[in-house]
A and B are shown apart, each in its own frame.
Chain A
Amino acid sequence: DTGVSQNPRHKITKRGQNVTFRCDPISEHNRLYWYRQTLGQGPEFLTYFQNEAQLEKSRLLSDRFSAERPKGSFSTLEIQRTEQGDSAMYLCASSRKVLGKFFAGANVLTFGAGSRLTVL
């Protein structure tokens, strides 16, 4: 297992274009989280999945953002009609919760290296 993988690592796009990021979590992890982080700030929660079900979305996640996890494995985060304010690092993390209990006894997240988006 190589940990949480995110692609692409860097994306430069023009305002108005659509972009998609992919996250491959640790294989036995059924929880998958997306965070956004801007310079000098901590990660801001965007959304999370348990298996294929999207259980919570932040109000930060405008209608231009959509996340999917169709088979309960990898996830995609799509941003439509990008704006300069979307420039940020998009972080994916995973954990495992089974029968109502987190595998590590707590919601310990394993993060990917992130996908950096620059909107020109």
Chain B
Amino acid sequence: SQQGEEDPQALSIQEGENATMNCSYKTSINNLQWYRQNSGRGLVHLILIRSNEREKHSGRLRVTLDTSKKSSSLLITASRAADTASYFCAPEEGGSEKLVFGKGTKLTVNP
């Protein structure tokens, strides 16, 4: 099964700074999704980028996808303390019936 590996495992920044998280995967994909998880809660879908897209924006989120390098990045601009959470990528293979998650990146935004 496809699995994304997030990097770094942990990231600590100051409020207002940008946060960049990376995801690497191994095989061809149809799309790649990013999810966020606040401590002790379920995951929330943030954004999806399709394999024929290179960049996508949603509010303060910017996702890039490089299929040649099998990698994706999630950029959160002008971070806020409320962005403190764990972030997971989920590459989706064609015909995949389930999402397989990595260990995630734990982001801490200090006020």
Which residues from chain B contact A41 at a C-beta distance below 8 Å?
A: 103
Q: Are B97 and A91 in contact (CB under 8 A)?
A: no
Q: Are A91 and B101 in contact (CB under 8 A)?
A: no
Q: Are A33 and B45 in contact (CB under 8 A)?
A: no
The secondary structure that dominates the B interface is loop
Q: Are B48 and A108 in contact (CB under 8 A)?
A: yes
Interface residues of B, count at CB 8 A = 24
Write the nearest CB–CB distance from B49 to chain A, whole angstroms.
10
Q: Does B25 count as interface, using CB distance less than 8 angstroms?
A: no
Given contacts A40-B103, A107-B92, contact A45 B98 (CB under 8 A): yes
Q: Are A107 and B101 in contact (CB under 8 A)?
A: no
Q: Give Cα A35 to B75, complex, Å.
A: 27
Partner among B30, B40, B43, B44 whose Cβ is within 8 Å of the Cβ of A43: B43
Q: Which residues of B contact A (CB under 8 A)?
A: 1, 30-31, 33, 35, 40-45, 48, 50, 88, 92, 96-104
